Structure 1
Amino acid sequence: MPRPRGHYWASLIVLTAATGATAEDATRRAERLEPLNLSASEGFSITRYEIDAGRYYRWRIQSDGLEEYKLLAPELFRESWIDQVVIEDKEVKPYGLHAVEFDDEGEIDIWFIPQRPGEYRFFVEGLDTQGFRGVFVVR
């Protein structure tokens, strides 16, 4: 015998209210990491980040535009939930991420939640021996 339609909606409202009161959305407010600057003359502005698994972060990457930079962090991206990538106020909701590339000056924001502790390297392809390498330490 089918349930009355009103019973379904009342149950849904109670369930929504109960979960909203007890569970906080992890993507509500991202912790902003110190921006990573890519400089042809200096390499990376920062080479080590220490972060926590399960927390929501925004990582801003800024390029001086003097070189073409392909920034890779394959292990970190594979072990993280990538919420979005923002380029010039345009959002991309990726299923996964391997790298971001700069052809000109600009910035890219990556919003993510690392899932597993470990050490994850990030680097610019072909320039890692010239100061373009670093590590994320996820606790």
Structure 2
Amino acid sequence: MKNRIIAALALTALPFASLADANEITAGMAPAGILAKSNRERLPKLTLAAGQPIAEEPLRLKSGRFYTLEIEADGSQELALEGAGFFRAVWINEIVIEGIEIRPFGVASIEFDESGKAEISFVAIRPGSYHLTVPGSKGDTQQVTMTIE
């Protein structure tokens, strides 16, 4: 019985030993994984303004990468961005509005009644093509395609 426990412990530790070599752990510090600075990227800002395009081009994301997305509204009109499919395909770390950090369980849309900024940090998870859209709009410029590869 004792030999089985020792063998089980050795087999459990084996994957971690190879991980330590692969990541070159130094000074007893473990790698930060998906939250490491080397895995972070700031996306181009999205703009909400009456009659103006939200983004210059579609955004391509990598699954497992940590992103920060700033959304800015100019206050010219009450506007929102909805995209429940996109928000279900990512893990939202936080939404920051005027220095207030919100850690939501889920999001379907973000609405601006006046000018302001919101910053969303998230990890892309589920590959696919998703849209963030101004509700009720029909034009292609009133949405942005977010493709997670």
TM-score, with structure 2 as normaliser? 0.74
- Which residue of the partner structure matches residue 76 of structure 2? 66
1:89 lines up with 2:99 in the alignment: yes
d(CA) in 1 for partners of 2:132 and 2:101? 22
1:113 lines up with 2:102 in the alignment: no
Deviations 1:77-100 (A, max 9, x none): 101100000001110010111111
d(CA) in 1 for partners of 2:111 and 2:35? 25
Given that 2:55 and 2:144 are in contact with CA atoms closer than 8 Å, whether structure 1 keeps it comes out as no
Deviations 1:8-60 (A, max 9, x none): xxxxxxxxxx8973432422433110001112132313341011010000000
Number of aligned residue pairs: 123
| Aligned alpha-carbon RMSD (Å) | 2.1
- Which residue of the partner structure matches residue 27 of structure 1? 35
| Bigger radius of gyration among the two | 2
- Which segments of 5 or more consecutive residues in structure 2 lack a partner in the other structure? 1-19
- Which residue of the partner structure matches residue 40 of structure 1? 50
TM-score, with structure 1 as normaliser? 0.79
Q: Sequence identity of aligned pairs in percent?
A: 31
d(CA) in 2 for partners of 1:103 and 1:115? 30
Given that 2:55 and 2:141 are in contact with CA atoms closer than 8 Å, whether structure 1 keeps it comes out as no
Given that 1:37 and 1:46 are in contact with CA atoms closer than 8 Å, whether structure 2 keeps it comes out as no
- Which segments of 5 or more consecutive residues in structure 1 lack a partner in the other structure? 1-17
